[in-house]
């Protein structure tokens, strides 16, 4: 083998090793992206109660199982899930009127929000992530997200905040998470999303991000990993293993 052949062979081996590692080795996590309702705060129950009050007034069926399908879904698409389930057809104007009505019920429930509505362990976990020098973002489909963060004085925990006012497409569309990653300045494949909604896990996957389901496995069968207690997360392990779950 002459010198040129040896050089080409060496380069081929280097290319192969680089390619193998880029495909098979876990990618590092730099961005931790948190949904709000049902992940950082228990406002998911207030969303449900708002929809339930509206549904009861109209004699529409809405039980907890249908309520879970509304998690993470933007306001009008969530109303459409209830209407479809009940075989009701309404004009766009009427849908917006009812969406506004539910929002009034939800905001009235938010009046009583306090520290007892914070998901136990969530704040401590976010602080641990930040103490490691990693970036954090809040990415919620809710147009009320900023008000909730301010009411509970949580805004300082996030380097970027994306709310329902910043997006035009409901989860499972990845828009909300891609915008959060862009605001953090971190590529999607280096981000991990914490989500309580089936639609939210789909959105994270559609964004090319890693995902942890916050809630029981039977509600989140599409999540690579589920937790119900933030103390279950070994942060070092999570960072080291990176993509190993997906
Ligand atoms: P709003 P998340 C979502 O917030 C809720 O899970 C979902 O129930 C709600 O319909 C949606 O926000 C829109 O909320 O009517 O306040 O704009 O889970 O993405 O933080
Ligand atoms: Mg949620």
CATH number for 55: 1.10.150.240
Q: Which two tokens stand for residue 166?
A: 């910043």
Residues with CB under 5 A from ligand 2 (ion): 35, 37-38, 72, 196-197
Ligand 2 centroid to Cα of residue 228, in Å, is: 14
The answer on pLDDT for 244 being more than 70 is no
The answer on pLDDT for 241 being more than 90 is no
* Banded model confidence at residue 27, pLDDT cuts 50, 70, 90: low
β partners of residue 195: 213
> What number is the average pLDDT over the span 216-226?
95
Question: What gap in Å lies between CA 146 and CA 160, rounded to an integer?
Answer: 12
The answer on pLDDT for 8 being more than 80 is no
Q: How many CA atoms lie within 13 A of 96 on its CB side?
A: 3
Per the domain annotation, does 229 fall within a domain? yes
Are 198 and 208 in a shared domain? yes
Average pLDDT across the chain, whole number: 90
- Give, for ligand 1, the residue of 74, 83, 142, 174 to mutate: max count of ligand atoms closer than 8 Å to Cβ: 142
* Banded model confidence at residue 234, pLDDT cuts 50, 70, 90: confident
- pLDDT (0 to 100) of residue 20: 39
Q: Which atom of ligand 1 is nearest to the CA of 143?
A: 17
Are 168 and 220 in a shared domain? yes
Ligand 1 centroid to Cα of residue 129, in Å, is: 24
Are 131 and 200 in a shared domain? yes
Which amino acids are annotated catalytic?
35, 37
Supply the residue whose CA is at minimum distance from atom 3 of ligand 1: 72
Look up the pTM and report it: 0.87
> What number is the average pLDDT over the span 119-145?
97
CATH code of the domain covering residue 235: 3.40.50.1000
Enclosing domain of residue 225: 31-42+118-242
Burial track 136-175 (b if 16+ CB lie within 10 A, e otherwise): bbbbbbbebbbebbeebebeebbbbbbbbebbeebbbbbb
pLDDT in tens, 29-60: 999 999 999 999 999 999 999 999 999 999 99
Question: Which of 64, 79, 112 is where one domain is finished?
Answer: 112
- pLDDT (0 to 100) of residue 14: 38
Are 209 and 124 in a shared domain? yes
The answer on pLDDT for 242 being more than 70 is no
């Amino acid at each position: 083998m002459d010198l040129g052949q040896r050089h080409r062979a060496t380069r081929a081996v280097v290319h192969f090793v680089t390619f193998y590692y880029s495909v098979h080795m876990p990618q590092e996590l730099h961005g931790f992206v948190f949904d709000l309702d049902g992940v950082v705060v228990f406002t998911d129950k207030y969303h449900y109660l708002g929809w339930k009050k509206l549904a009861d007034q109209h004699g529409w069926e809405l039980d907890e199982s249908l309520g879970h399908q509304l998690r993470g879904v933007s306001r009008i698409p969530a109303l459409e899930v209830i209407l479809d389930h009940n075989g009701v057809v309404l004009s766009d104007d009427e849908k917006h009127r009812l969406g506004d009505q539910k929002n009034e019920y939800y905001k009235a429930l938010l009046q009583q929000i306090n520290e007892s509505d914070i998901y136990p362990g969530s704040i401590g976990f976010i602080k641990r992530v930040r103490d490691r020098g990693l970036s954090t973002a809040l990415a919620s489909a809710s147009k009320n997200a900023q008000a909730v963060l301010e009411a509970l004085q949580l805004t300082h925990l996030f380097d970027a905040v994306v709310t329902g006012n910043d997006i035009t497409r409901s989860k499972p569309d990845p828009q909300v998470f891609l915008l959060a990653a862009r605001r953090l300045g971190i590529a999607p494949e280096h981000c991990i999303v914490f989500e309580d909604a089936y639609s939210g896990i789909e959105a994270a996957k559609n964004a090319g991000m890693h995902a942890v389901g916050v809630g029981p496995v039977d509600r989140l069968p599409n999540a690579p990993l589920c937790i119900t207690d933030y103390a279950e997360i070994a942060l070092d392990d999570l960072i080291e293993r990176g993509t190993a779950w997906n």
